[in-house]
């Protein structure tokens, strides 16, 4: 079979074998081309260094990613997932990056947008087909209604809760997805022993709370995964989840301790928009 240009480059890329945790059958069968995208030397070294904690290949396989899909990523930030999704979907699919709203008063959002725009512009062969849309308070036109096969978002739900628009976000995802479309959510998992802070000021969200938010918007829970579980995370840190890597909010104070814990305990949830 003859591969299209970007896929052919991916197959010629480094064939680094990723160590896999014990996974269920659905998670254990990733697309070999997707595996090559994850292993590609074109990815940023700082992002590749986090793969052992983030398990991108297994998580995208769990969500059911396929090369022909229309996929929306919510809040791409520095582009960890963009570096995988954009080239993977380049030839046969469509990738929407729902970034920060433009022209806001947030210096942080404007800097992040500028850096993301520069990243895309620097490599048109990989990123020239990325469709950048807006997501944030009052900005929910992430993709045409009923167009998306898959919407994914990674460690962002707590931000929408803090901003007071989590329900609006879920409603936007529901509108953008086709009937039967999938919503994949990952975030820092709070302890079930404590009530949920509605603002999620620590960065942690109870898994049952996240499920309830999605169901309130009309989604059905398909399954959950322990791909990114971390039993070392006690979830009671002085600066919330940002105490842990990669942020290390306390800088050198107890640094070795927090590095030993690793990145936070994260839930991974897969929802479906019901067939209509």
Domain with 82 in it: what CATH number?
3.40.50.150
Judge whether 196 lies within some domain: yes
Domain-located, residue 18:
no
What is the total count of domains within the chain?
Answer: 1
Q: Supply 240's token pair.
A: 């919330």
| Residue 245 forms part of a structural domain | no
Question: Going by C-beta distance under 8 Å and a sequence separation of 6 or more, which residues neighbour residue 227?
Answer: 21, 23, 27, 55, 58, 59, 62, 268
Long-range contact set of residues 122-131: C-beta below 8 Å, sequence gap at least 24: 125/6, 126/6, 126/42, 126/83, 126/86, 126/87, 126/90, 127/82, 127/86, 129/86, 129/89, 129/90, 129/94, 129/95, 130/82, 130/86, 130/95, 130/96, 130/97, 131/94, 131/95, 131/96, 131/97
Per-residue pLDDT at 103 exceeds 90: no
Is 124 domain-assigned?
A: yes
For 65, 117, 228, 230, 262, the CA distances from 23, given in Å and listed in that order, are: 17, 36, 11, 15, 20
| pLDDT classification of 1: cutoffs 50, 70, 90 | very low
Q: Tell me if 176 is assigned to some domain.
A: yes
- State the pLDDT confidence band at 215, using cuts at 50, 70 and 90: very high
Asked, for residue 212, whether it belongs to a domain, the answer is yes
SS3 state of residue 10? helix
User: What pLDDT score was predicted for residue 30?
Assistant: 76
Predicted pLDDT of residue 16? 35
- Asked if residue 162 belongs to a domain, the reply is yes
Give the pairing of strands 177-188 and 266-272.
antiparallel
Indicate if the pLDDT at residue 170 is higher than 70.
yes
| Percentage of the chain modeled with pLDDT above 70 | 90
Please check whether residue 46 lies inside any domain of the structure.
yes
Task: Print the domain residue range for 218.
Answer: 24-231+267-272
């Amino acid at each position: 079979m003859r591969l299209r240009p970007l896929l052919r480059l991916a197959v010629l890329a480094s064939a680094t074998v990723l160590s896999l945790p014990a996974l269920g059958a659905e998670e254990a069968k990733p697309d070999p081309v997707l595996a090559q995208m994850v292993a590609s030397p074109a990815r940023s070294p700082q992002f590749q260094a986090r793969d052992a904690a983030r398990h991108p290949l297994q998580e995208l396989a769990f969500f059911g990613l396929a090369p022909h899909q229309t996929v929306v990523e919510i809040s791409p930030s520095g582009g960890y997932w963009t570096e995988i999704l954009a080239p993977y979907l380049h030839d046969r699919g469509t990738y929407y990056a729902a970034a920060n709203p433009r022209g806001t008063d947030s210096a942080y959002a404007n800097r992040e947008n500028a850096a993301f725009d520069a990243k895309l512009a620097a490599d048109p062969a990989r990123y020239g087909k990325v469709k950048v849309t807006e997501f944030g308070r009052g900005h929910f036109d992430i993709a045409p209604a009923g167009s998306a096969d898959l919407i994914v978002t990674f460690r962002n739900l707590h931000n929408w809760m803090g901003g007071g628009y989590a329900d609006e976000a879920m409603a936007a995802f529901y509108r953008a997805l086709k009937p039967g479309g999938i919503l994949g959510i990952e975030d820092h998992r709070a302890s079930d022993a404590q009530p949920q802070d509605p603002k999620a000021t620590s960065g942690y969200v109870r898994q049952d709370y996240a499920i309830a938010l999605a169901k309130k918007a009309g989604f059905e829970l398909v399954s959950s995964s322990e791909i990114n579980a971390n039993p070392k995370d006690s979830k009671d840190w002085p600066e919330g989840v940002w105490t842990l890597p990669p942020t290390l909010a306390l800088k050198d104070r107890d640094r070795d301790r927090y590095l030993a814990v690793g990145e936070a305990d994260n839930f991974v949830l897969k929802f479906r928009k019901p067939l209509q």
